[in-house]
Amino acid sequence: MTAVAVYQNTETSAADHAVVRRRSLAQPLLYGALLLCALLTLLPFVWVLGGSLRSLDEIRSDPGAWLPHHVTLDNFVRLFRTQGFDRFLVNSVVVAIMVVVGNVVAASAAGYALAKLEFAGKRLAFGAVMGAMMVPFTTVFVTQFVITVDMGLADTLTGIALPALALPLSVFIMRQYALSIPDELLEAARIDGAGEFRIFFRIFLPLAGPAVATITIMSFLTSWNNFIWPLIVAQSMSTYTLPVGLAATSQAAAHVTDYGLMLAGAIVVMLPVLVLFLCLQRYFVQGIAGTGMR
């Protein structure tokens, strides 16, 4: 029996060593694959950054080069000296603030109601939210434009921000996160005499910080990078947002695109999104995990 036990222990030890060996081999392969994917993702950004530091003549003579032969900040200088650039930047910031605030307020209230309150048509309302998520923008933007014109909001920053004030995805994220909050916590507050508004502002919103950070990043990204809708609604340079303004002013003489100016503008447009994501990254990951999205 002792010999059998020793043999079994030897077999178990060998199997454990084999598992450890496979894991030790798999881990570097996994990290290598992730590193390769990260590098492939970063390649376009590296090219844009390198192009923004090159002169226009160098870009045209060697458009495929990754690094500049002579580093220059002339593209950024010309960008900030472009007529109307400050107005485009302010317009983008104002529209983004309206969209973020609208999504945080509307999506939080709608998500809380769909998850924690009982009312007639609750399932129908949630079905409408899910249906709106599946409808592509190209099928409704003509209708949205007609409604915007009828409301007298064409060529205004409010008209640009209006369709994105309550994104269906933001409502869905808040609703899914609200489902993870225990009902017993809210019931205890109701027993203590707290009303729904007090529960919403004093209990739900502080607990929903990760979800709020998630919809803040998503709604800001949607507004900041939006090009088609502002292009349609904005009918004068005074209401152009940054993407539309850069596209309109990057045409040099004889309708030749100023690629240096466009690449510098792409870096400027990218920076606020990158900074916001880095600041809210931890909460963003928690919010995605809390909503069950993969």
pLDDT at 251: 62
Is the C-alpha dihedral spanning 133, 139, 145, 147 positive or negative? negative
List pLDDT tens digits, range 94-107: 999 999 999 999 99
Q: What is the pTM of this model?
A: 0.78
Nearest by Cα to 171 from 102, 97, 230, 119:
102
Nearest by Cα to 221 from 260, 285, 167:
167
List pLDDT tens digits, range 108-148: 999 989 988 888 888 898 898 888 888 888 888 888 889 99
Q: 133-137: long-range contacts (C-beta < 8 A, 24 or more apart)?
A: 133/168, 133/169, 133/172, 137/228, 137/229
Percent of all residues in the chain with a pLDDT value above 70, rounded to a whole number: 84
List pLDDT tens digits, range 221-272: 889 988 889 988 988 888 999 888 888 776 654 466 777 888 888 888 888 8
Three-state DSSP string of 180-220: CCCHHHHHHHHHCCCCHHHHHHHHHHHHCHHHHHHHHHHHH
List pLDDT tens digits, range 25-61: 677 788 888 888 888 888 888 888 888 888 877 877 7
